[in-house]
Structure 1
Amino acid sequence: MPRSSSQKTGVVLLDTRERTTDHEHAVHLKLGRFLAGLLDTVMVDPAEGIPQGAGFYYLPTATLIGPSRYESLGINSEDDLFGGLVSQPYMATKAISHPLLPNAAAPEGWTDDFARFANHALLRGYSVFSKADARRATQLLLLDGPVRVKPVLACAGRGQAVIYQTEELEPLLAQMEDSALGLWGLVLEENLEQVQTFSVGQARVAGLTCSYYGTQQLTCDHQGVEVYGGSELVVVRGGYDALLELPLEDHLSLAVNQAMAYENAALRSFPGFIASRRNYDIARGLDHQQRHRSGVLEQSWRMGGASSAEILALQAFADDPLLNRVRASSHEVFGTPDLPEDATLFYQGEDSELGQLSKYARIREHDHP
């Protein structure tokens, strides 16, 4: 099977977050063991600490920020990590998905090039880094319909609100610290109805590349709240061009092309950007005038909810050189259900915060030429 250009000494879990839940840590370790198998190396015991120097392959829990901070770990290219590396904090969030207002406050390293290059892949909206700019942007966007307010550090739609008049923005702004807003930003975006969200992405490990499109599923947690329940993916061997060779419906072809435009804009606009795991959420829905709209909501240049499916697909391609397409899925179920026979279990147990939880992934419908 293909290998990366240099043999790795081991796979290292690089947890950069303040706190990681029990089930997430267990899933990260299992993902690391699968990556070690693909790279023909071993998983480093997290209890031994973070080894220094080149030769290791890292599994970060978040997009890494600041290339100089990770030089001592030997992270210089996509061959050195499963995830991504950017130079400024805002580049790791959905704040890149929209332009600024004229004469608006901007974080260090901001460039207008990204929004210009990615224009046809974006919904109508603004990114703001001050409360004054948030008020200005809201007034402009409300002229054409309701506005969705999106905190950039929240995941899976949490913390979002739809507003219909300017006064509704104030209590939302009151909850935000000026310093955090100035560093990370806030997204204000046209609100869509009857929304379908598609995922388009790519993973590159050990000389193998897979690309995919798919959809996300929702499930109910133990409190009855709808949360992320997994992803259903069609995965092909190769790049986005191999994905576009499939007989895709028009809206899926558009989603893939918009993801490609978004990614190319990042590669052209963000010095030091590298990523071996790339995922884009694309929304398709109706605007306030009932017109169809489609655009990239956000990027994920880190391991995510679909990574178990992505890595199992890469393993299937590594095991069978004639295999070119699979259907892969990740599943998050609250409780302890009977698992399908082809399930690969990543976690099942009593999480200290979420209660009984099961996480697994599947590979099926292998297609040969």
Structure 2
Amino acid sequence: MKPIQHASVPPLAREESADGHVKNAGGRQKAHRAVASYFCRENAGPNGHECLTQCALARRLAALKGVDYAGLHPPGEAHDGSMYMVPSDTLSAADAARLGVTCEHDLFGGVVPHFFASTKVITHDLPQPGKSPAPAQWSSRFPAAVRAAVLPGFTVFSIEDALHAGELLLRDGPVRLKKPSGIGGLGQSVAGDAQELRAQLQAIDPARLAQEGLVLEHNLVEVDTCSVGQVVIAGMVATYCGTQRLTRSNRGQEVYGGSSLLVARGGFDALLSLPLEPHMHTAIEQSRIYHAAALAAFPGMFVSRSNYDIAQGRDAGGIFHSGVLEQSWRIGGASGAEIAALEAFAADPGLRAVRASTTEVYGKSPDLPRDALVYFQGEDEKIGHITKYSRIAHADT
């Protein structure tokens, strides 16, 4: 196995004090009168598990800020900016302006100038720079800046480019195809040869591909997925690293089952000062590179919640790889643990770090730990019965 290389890391735009409070952030903090949830997906039912989960977590964010929870903000309705928003997805600059969101202190999530900048397609180079089709706002600067922090792969916006990129990657083993907005491993498939690649590409709508794009990467085996992230709210900064785990859904499919995090009060330097294994140092440094490159490549972007998934495993030739798979600049699966850690820091100003976890378990009447903080339990019309909870413990630091 090749030794893990640690890359140099540019500084972040934000500066934190030693106690984990924001000293110099990207905008002025407002006195919000309430916290509101904003569900960006119009076809999502208000009684679905995603919406109800996010509303429950937004209620806890309101308590952290010491204000009321105002419930769901009506889709498409403008706002004057007096409410702190918890959107279900990364906001475009246009949506942020309509909601009165002007800086990272106005929301739990992030704002990007264009929709595609919030998806996986920003991560990789085009297979034929200068010739490959891409959106007008496409940035070649970003994939160039993160090349050492991601897996070998390409982004494509046409079937022709997908075939070309896939054939290049197949020389070193199977290829993973990833739709841009898939969550928790959904919207992905693996092609072991050119015939399988062509068959899978035939099922893709060329018009949709031209608009949204597709990612092709080396497929890894023996994979561990690390999570690295940071949240900023109520003057506090918390930064974390950890691992994800899988579980079985009610249909027997392997799906996201939760995250276990080590959360530090403060920025990345505070996290790196804790006892960590070498592979986690690599994941953190690759995430910092990705984070800083995004802020530099997309003018007007700002985030208060960022999460990066890093895959560490071997390709078909046995070569070890570590790289950022995707970014999340919105409330997500790990947010139950993030908020539990923030609550612990708020309750104990001297607390330096905590271990926090979130768990998603399928089926009726599961056995829950006594200290479980349940934020959703019920029947979802699409996935069946599911329970979501977080736990908190003092870290051994």
Q: Return the TM-score normalized by structure 2.
A: 0.88
Contact 1:203/1:211, CA 8 A, preserved across alignment: yes
Whole-Å separation in 2 of the counterparts to 1:118 and 1:46:
37
Contact 1:212/1:236, CA 8 A, preserved across alignment: yes
Asked if 1:360 corresponds to 2:389, the answer is yes
Aligned counterpart for 2:107 among listed residues 64, 81, 85? 81
Identity, % of aligned pairs?
A: 45
Contact 1:229/1:331, CA 8 A, preserved across alignment: yes
Whole-Å separation in 1 of the counterparts to 2:160 and 2:33:
50
Whole-Å separation in 2 of the counterparts to 1:251 and 1:70:
37
Corresponding residue of 2:25: none
Corresponding residue of 2:187: 159
For the residue of structure 1 that corresponds to 2:69, the secondary structure is coil
For the residue of structure 1 that corresponds to 2:342, the secondary structure is helix
Q: Unaligned regions of 5+ residues in structure 1, if any?
A: none
Whole-Å separation in 1 of the counterparts to 2:166 and 2:295:
30
1:174 positional shift: 2.2
Q: How does 1:130-141 map to 2 (within 5 A)?
A: 130-141=158-169
1:366 positional shift: 4.9
Whole-Å separation in 1 of the counterparts to 2:110 and 2:139:
19
For the residue of structure 2 that corresponds to 1:321, the secondary structure is coil
1:251 positional shift: 0.8
1:74 positional shift: 1.2
Asked if 1:90 corresponds to 2:116, the answer is yes
1:48 positional shift: 6.9
Corresponding residue of 1:168: 196
Contact 1:323/1:366, CA 8 A, preserved across alignment: no
- 197-206 vs 93-102, which deviates more? 93-102
Change (3 A) 1:361 1:147: same
Corresponding residue of 2:83: 56
Q: Unaligned regions of 5+ residues in structure 2, if any?
A: 1-18, 23-27
RMSD: 1.8
Asked if 1:110 corresponds to 2:134, the answer is no
Q: Return the TM-score normalized by structure 1.
A: 0.95
Change (3 A) 1:84 1:144: same
Aligned counterpart for 1:32 among listed residues 44, 58, 62? 58
Change (3 A) 1:51 1:88: closer
For the residue of structure 2 that corresponds to 1:176, the secondary structure is coil
1:175 positional shift: 2.1
Contact 1:214/1:232, CA 8 A, preserved across alignment: yes
Q: Deviations over 1:113-136 (max 9, x none)?
A: 111111210111100011111011
1:219 positional shift: 1.1
The one-letter code matched in structure 2 to 1:361 is S
Corresponding residue of 1:319: 347
Whole-Å separation in 1 of the counterparts to 2:306 and 2:314:
26
Asked if 1:184 corresponds to 2:212, the answer is yes
Corresponding residue of 1:261: 289
Contact 2:96/2:111, CA 8 A, preserved across alignment: no
Aligned counterpart for 2:374 among listed residues 327, 345, 354? 345
